[in-house]
Amino acid sequence: MNSGVLHTMQALAASLPSRVLQPEQVLFEAGQPGNSIFCVLSGSVELSWGDASFEIFGPGDVLGVGALVSDHHLRHGTARAVVASELIEMGREQFLFAVQETPMFALELMASLERRLRRLED
């Protein structure tokens, strides 16, 4: 659980849209354009790729970060709720605002990406 990112996104929650997903409901599909990231508030979301690889994201985890890096980002995987889940959605403008107001947010997000990469290597 990445409590730093979760706390920052919860503090911004009043200005960010939330999404409630039912079990098996798709958040986004591989190949779709993406322009926002998602932080899991509750529940869990599976991100899967075509080769049967997948990751599970739980409370405090952030997915879809590639959308903040490039203007014409296409999603690499398909994200679907494993159980009923609530997520906060953050677009590029909100991300830039969060980083400006709370510089540690960028470091927390990078730390979460590092942990994710380490998990994938194991």
Q: Strand, helix or coil at 117?
A: helix
Question: What is the mean pLDDT of the segment spanning 28-35?
Answer: 93
Half-sphere exposure of 99 (CA within 13 A, CB side): 12
Most confident of 6-10, 63-67, 74-78, 111-115: 74-78
Residue 6's pLDDT is 67
Per the prediction, the chain carries an average pLDDT of: 85
**Which CATH number fits the domain 3-114, given the four candidates 1.20.950.20, 2.60.120.10, 2.40.30.10, 3.40.50.300?**
2.60.120.10
* pLDDT tier at 53, thresholds 50, 70, 90: confident
Strands (E), the chain: 18-21, 26-28, 36-42, 45-48, 54-57, 62-63, 78-81, 85-91
Query: In the chain, what are the domain boundaries?
Result: 3-114
DSSP 76: S
- In percent, how much of the chain has pLDDT > 90? 36
Q: Using the structure block, give the residue that is written with the tokens 């879809």.
A: 64
DSSP 84: S
Residue 85's pLDDT is 97
13 or 51, which is more confident? 51
20 pLDDT higher than 90: yes
